[in-house]
């Protein structure tokens, strides 16, 4: 018997969430064991969060792709599921634990199992995007699209910058939503839950990564509203990623910039001022006495503009003895950034399909320097690194 078990609908008590006839049939196993199991999880989540019904989604984005985070149990689960179901809507993958074009990996246990995991996701019908920035490779949702995305930085970007609607899904719930093509209607799918909780008045020119690092830590899972910022889209990507890492922020507003910022009054909200001294304290926390042995850039994966910026900074410079350099971006952006890739690869490597956190960086390095607030938050925990935060200019000076 398959390890994926189906429980009869009656045991789930789905009276708390309305299911239509078709959904009931799926839950009762009439459409197969895989869809029944997927429906069972969605119904359980709907019940926990008091959702009234399931709503159709435009796409799912699935995290939990690296063998480093999934392990053997996760690999087995996805392989079992791949025998039972296929996704019904556009579904994409987050970064894996290695570059998918890497050759000769069969002798290496980690890479062999990573390839098996990727193959199981492929069998489920999921696209091998392997990026945390799908919105930079043409997978850009429309305002009010409902989604089931699970990469926290992509969730934040989709909700805040694009005005789409997604909860911060786990890998399994995003996958089950992809199989059914629906998600429970609760949380950030409802307009009333998208209103801001606290206003941050930023009175200084600050790096968005450090601002996000600070605010995420303070605000937890609430929704911040920023005043005083003039961010580019890349700044917003960086800001949201850092807040999602040090806190659980899944949505934010920026006055005059993000699409729903004007929909809510902030008059009655608590106001907190952020001055440059607040940011300097964070910068001090992220110093260490060690020298970096690697520089990692691209958390979240870099945009074409960011790639070109790095390429320009390195143009006509000479490589000096210093740390190794890894730059992470999606495969598509890499392919579209040939000139920048050529400049960067005089100094280090441009890597796709993976990142510094979900690949086994710790096998070869101990001290990582980065300009990413999210990477600074995750690398100590998930890749056993001492971390140095530095801006891009300083990182470039370490190698050229």
Say what angle helices 233-246 and 208-219 make with each other, to 10 degrees.
30
DSSP three-state, residue 184: strand
- Considering beta carbons, is residue 277 or 363 the nearer one to ligand F3S? 363
* Spacing of C-alpha 318 from chain mean position: 34
- Using DSSP's 3-state secondary structure scheme, residue 198 falls into strand
**Adjacent-strand bridge partners of 54:** 184
Question: Rounded to an integer, what distance in angstroms lies between the CA atom of residue 286 and that of residue 372?
Answer: 11
Q: In the chain, where does DSSP find H-type helix?
A: 9-12, 21-27, 33-48, 67-82, 109-123, 152-160, 171-180, 208-219, 233-246, 276-285, 304-314, 331-335, 338-344, 373-383, 392-399
Q: What angle do CA 59, 37, 127 make, to 5 degrees?
A: 30
Q: Strand 198-202: give its sheet, edge to edge.
A: 253-254, 224-227, 198-202, 270-274
Nearest approach, Cβ of residue 39 and ligand F3S (Å) = 28
Sequence-distant (≥ 6) Cβ neighbours of residue 375 within 8 angstroms:
296, 299, 356, 357, 368, 387
Please choose, out of 142-150, 159-167, 209-217, 374-382, the segment that lies near ligand F3S by the rule CB under 6 A: 374-382
Verify binding: residue 301, ligand F3S, rule CB under 6 A: yes
Residue closer to ligand F3S by CB (options 128, 204) is 128
Binding status of residue 219 toward ligand F3S by CB under 6 A = no
237: contact with ligand F3S by CB under 6 A:
no
Q: In the complex, what is the shortest distance from the CB of residue 387 to ligand F3S, in angstroms, rounded to a whole number? A: 13
Among 241, 295, 325, 361, binds ligand F3S (CB under 6 A): 241
- The footprint of ligand F3S on residues 107-166 (CB under 6 A) is 132, 151, 153
Note whether 374 binds ligand F3S by CB under 6 A. Answer: yes
Residues 198-217 binding ligand F3S (CB under 6 A) are none
In whole angstroms, the minimum distance from the beta carbon of 9 to ligand F3S comes to 36
Residues 83-102 that bind ligand F3S (CB under 6 A): 94-95
Task: Scan residues 321-360 and list those touching ligand F3S (CB under 6 A).
Answer: 328, 355, 357-358
**Residue 124 phi/psi, 5° resolution?**
-70, -10
Closer of 6 and 307 to ligand F3S (Cβ): 307
- Residue 14 or residue 378: which is nearer to ligand F3S going by CB? 378
Return the number of the residue (67 or 328) whose C-beta is nearest ligand F3S.
328
Tell me how many residues contact ligand F3S (CB under 6 A): 16
* 59 binds ligand F3S per the rule CB under 6 A: no
Residue from 300, 311, 322, 373 in contact with ligand F3S (CB under 6 A): 300
Residue 102 main-chain phi, psi, to 5 deg: -60, 135
Task: Give 185 or 370: the residue with its C-beta nearer to ligand F3S.
Answer: 370
Using the minimum distance from each CB to ligand F3S, give the nearer residue, 153 or 185: 153
Question: Which residue in 67, 135, 378, 389 binds ligand F3S (CB under 6 A)?
Answer: 378
Length of the chain equals 400
Q: Report the residue number, 51 or 174, with the smaller CB distance to ligand F3S.
A: 174
Residue 299 as a binder of ligand F3S (CB under 6 A): the answer is yes
Q: How far is the CB of 65 from ligand F3S (least distance, A)?
A: 9
Residue nearer to ligand F3S on the CB measure, 226 or 326: 326
**CB crowding 189-201: b at 16 or more within 10 Å, else e:** beeeebbbebbbe
Residue placing its CB nearer to ligand F3S in the complex, 153 or 167: 153
CA torsion sign for 166, 168, 173, 178 is positive
Provide the pairing of β-strand 182-184 with 54-56. antiparallel
Give the burial string for 71-88 (b: 16+ CB within 10 Å, else e).
Answer: eeebbebbbebbebbebb
Binding of residue 370 to ligand F3S (CB under 6 A) = no
Positions touching ligand F3S (CB under 6 A) are 94-95, 132, 151, 153, 241, 299-301, 328, 355, 357-358, 374-375, 378
């Amino acid at each position: 018997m398959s390890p994926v078990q189906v429980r009869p609908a009656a045991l789930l008590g789905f009276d708390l969430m309305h299911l239509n006839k078709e959904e009931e049939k799926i839950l009762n196993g009439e459409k197969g064991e895989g869809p029944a199991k997927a429906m069972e999880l969605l119904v359980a989540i709907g019940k926990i969060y008091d959702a009234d019904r399931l709503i159709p989604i435009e796409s799912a984005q699935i995290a939990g792709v690296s063998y480093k985070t999934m392990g053997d149990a996760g690999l087995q689960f996805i392989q079992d599921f791949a025998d039972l179901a296929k996704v019904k809507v556009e579904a994409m993958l987050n970064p894996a634990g290695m570059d998918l074009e890497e050759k000769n990996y069969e002798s290496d246990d980690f890479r062999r199992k990573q390839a098996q995991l990727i193959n199981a996701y492929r069998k489920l019908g999921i696209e091998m995007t392997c990026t945390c920035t799908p919105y930079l490779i043409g997978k850009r949702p429309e305002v009010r699209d409902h989604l089931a995305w699970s990469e926290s930085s992509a969730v934040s970007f989709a909700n805040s910058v694009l005005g789409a609607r997604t909860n911060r899904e786990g890998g399994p719930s995003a996958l089950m939503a992809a199989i059914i093509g629906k998600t429970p209607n609760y949380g950030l799918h409802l307009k009333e839950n998208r209103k801001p909780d606290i206003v941050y008045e930023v009175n200084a020119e600050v790096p968005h990564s450090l601002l996000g690092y600070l605010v995420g830590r303070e605000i937890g899972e609430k929704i911040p509203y920023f005043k005083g910022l003039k961010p580019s889209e890349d700044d917003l990507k960086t800001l949201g990623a850092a807040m999602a890492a040090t806190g659980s922020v899944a949505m934010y507003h920026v006055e005059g910039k993000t699409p729903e910022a004007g929909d809510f009054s902030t008059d009655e909200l608590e106001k907190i001022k952020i001055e440059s001294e607040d940011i300097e304290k964070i910068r001090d926390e992220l110093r260490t006495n060690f020298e970096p042995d690697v520089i990692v850039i691209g958390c979240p994966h870099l945009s074409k503009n960011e790639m070109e910026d790095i390429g320009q900074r390195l143009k006509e410079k000479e490589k000096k003895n210093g740390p190794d350099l890894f730059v992470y971006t999606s495969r598509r952006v890499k392919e579209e950034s040939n000139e920048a890739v050529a400049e960067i690869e005089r100094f280090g490597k441009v890597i796709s399909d993976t990142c510094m956190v979900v690949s086994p960086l710790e096998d070869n390095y101990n001290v990582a320097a980065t300009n990413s607030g999210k990477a600074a938050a995750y690398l100590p925990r998930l890749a056993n690194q001492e971390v140095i935060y530095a801006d891009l200019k300083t990182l470039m000076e370490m190698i050229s």
